[in-house]
């Protein structure tokens, strides 16, 4: 996988995790607090600004870890 694939995969995972931790629907066994929804907002805002600027902090981290940029 290349950096772009990792960014989308991890962003999707973090969104699902933060929704699971932040949404109280009465039967959610892992609900922690509604403020975890701010993490969902943060990830979504980073994806939004990445669409315009092509800059992502996670991309810099993955590049330093040696993940290839192209296939």
Looking at residue 26, the DSSP 8-state letter turns out to be S
How far apart, in whole angstroms, are the C-alpha atoms of residue 29 and residue 20? 9
Q: Is 69 helix (H, G, I), strand (E, B) or coil?
A: coil
Residue 70 located in a structural domain: no
Residue 71 located in a structural domain: no
Residue 69 located in a structural domain: no
As for how many domains the chain has, the answer is 1
Residue 26 has a pLDDT of: 85
DSSP 15-31: HHHHHHHH---S--TT-
Residue that wins the pLDDT comparison between 26 and 13: 13
Looking at residue 50, the DSSP 8-state letter turns out to be H
Over the stretch 17-61, which tens digit does the pLDDT of each residue have? 999 999 998 888 899 999 999 999 999 999 999 999 999 999 999
Instruction: Say which residue the tokens 């600027």 belong to.
Output: 53
Residue 56 has a pLDDT of: 92
Residue 25 has a pLDDT of: 87
């Amino acid at each position: 996988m290349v950096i772009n694939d990792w960014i989308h995969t991890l962003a999707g995972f973090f969104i699902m995790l933060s929704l699971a931790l932040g949404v109280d629907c009465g039967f959610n066994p892992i609900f922690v607090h509604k403020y975890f929804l701010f993490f969902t907002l943060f990830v979504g805002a980073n994806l939004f600004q990445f669409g315009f600027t092509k800059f992502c902090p996670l991309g810099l981290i993955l590049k330093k870890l040696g993940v290839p940029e192209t296939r």
